[in-house]
Amino acid sequence: MMSWFTDPWQHTFMQHAFIAIILVGIICGATGVFVILRGLAFLGDALSHAIFPGVVIAFILGGNFLIGAMIAAIVVSLGIGGISQSGRISNDTAVGVLFVGAFSLGIALMSTQTGYVRDLNTFLFGSILGVTRDDLTLTVIVGIIVLATMLLFRRELTMIAFDRTFSKASGLNLWMFDQLFLVLLAMAIVISLQTVGNILVLAMLVTPAATARLITNDLRTMVALSCLIGSLSGLAGLYVSYYQGVPSGAAVVLVATAIFGIVFLFEPRTGSISTRIRRHFHHPHPEKDEFEEVQVA
């Protein structure tokens, strides 16, 4: 039984893969909390597609595709901020316009190249077994930058997510903090490309954070739980992938989705099935429960 757990760790590429997915779970888990609290899932999805031209240009120039992706992400996120700040077009629409535009630019650029199909596959679905030591170093550095920035600006991020009008009245520069968060989000997405790929990265941002939201009402606990669930899903998914031959990105996301499903149904306080069972067998007056909760809390 023990060897079932330790076997994969004997290969260097699997060690790299495990470390990478744990890091991605933590970084996306923390960023994802603010993505779901601010309702920015669409933006996360869009950003992950919008970095495509950066990847292709990096490929054409022979540079590191992570750096190309990062530059594209920052350009697109600043563009979204710029357009929506004009006030004539909603943020949502600006995201829609720029993300498809950027993605199309990537496709057009790619069509000028030959022999890119394999690398495109890597971009779309990740290539976790190809994670190098250099990739890991880059992931650690980006991760530290993202987490330290979030920690440093925790109060501003919280204020803006909770109450934008009050944040503005307190003198916060909303535009600047929105851009800062977009850049952090872009960084989290880019370092996830190698492990889960562009299509599935949204799940790493949204699913663990959403699961954590179901479990707790405390923001700090929510961030910690989201990181934990993200990393655990990553670990478990890699084992599934290793033994069942399922693509790693898909396995990781499926595990995260399964955890979400279980929590959604069975979480003792709020789970749909557990509350139904409780109502049926124990408490004929669930509304009385809620009242007491408020008084006691």
Partner 1 sequence: MAIQHSAHANRTPILVATDLSVHYEDRSALRDISLTISSGQTVSLLGPNGAGKSTLLKVFAGMIPPSHGTVEFEGQPITNANECVTYVPQRSGADWTFPISVLEATLLGLARTRSRWRPFSRVDHDRAMYSLQQVRMDHLANAQIGALSGGQQQRVFLARALLSCGRVLLLDEPFTGVDIPTQEMLVELFERLRNEGTAVVYATHDLQQAATTSDYVVLLNEHIVAHGLPREVMTEPILRQAFGGQVIVIHADKTIETTSPVIEEALPR
Binding residues vs partner 1 (CB under 8 A)? 37, 152-156, 158-159, 161-166, 168-172, 213, 216-219, 222, 290, 293-294, 297
Q: Which CB atom, from 141 or from 152, has the smaller least distance to partner 1?
A: 152
Q: Which CB atom, from 113 or from 217, has the smaller least distance to partner 1?
A: 217
Question: CB of 199: closest distance to partner 1 in angstroms?
Answer: 29
Q: Which CB atom, from 107 or from 152, has the smaller least distance to partner 1?
A: 152
Q: What is d(CA 74, CA 65) in angstroms, rounded to the nearest whole number?
A: 14
Return the amino acid letter for 293: E
Q: Which CB atom, from 7 or from 292, has the smaller least distance to partner 1?
A: 292
Question: CB of 25: closest distance to partner 1 in angstroms?
Answer: 20
Question: CB of 280: closest distance to partner 1 in angstroms?
Answer: 24
Question: CB of 290: closest distance to partner 1 in angstroms?
Answer: 8
Cα dist from 206 to 77, 106, 212, 217, 281, whole Å: 19, 25, 10, 17, 34
Per the CB < 8 A criterion, the answer to whether 200 and 218 are in contact is: no
Q: What is d(CA 13, CA 219) in angstroms, rounded to the nearest whole number?
A: 35
Q: Which CB atom, from 46 or from 219, has the smaller least distance to partner 1?
A: 219
Spatial CA neighbour of 105 closest among 132, 79, 133, 125: 79
Question: CB of 29: closest distance to partner 1 in angstroms?
Answer: 15
Question: CB of 170: closest distance to partner 1 in angstroms?
Answer: 5
Torsion region of 132: left, alpha or beta (phi above 0 gives left; psi -120 to 50 gives alpha): beta
Place of tokens 């889960």: 196
Q: Which CB atom, from 75 or from 172, has the smaller least distance to partner 1?
A: 172
> Can you read off the two tokens belonging to residue 127?
């290539």
Spatial CA neighbour of 55 closest among 138, 129, 124: 124
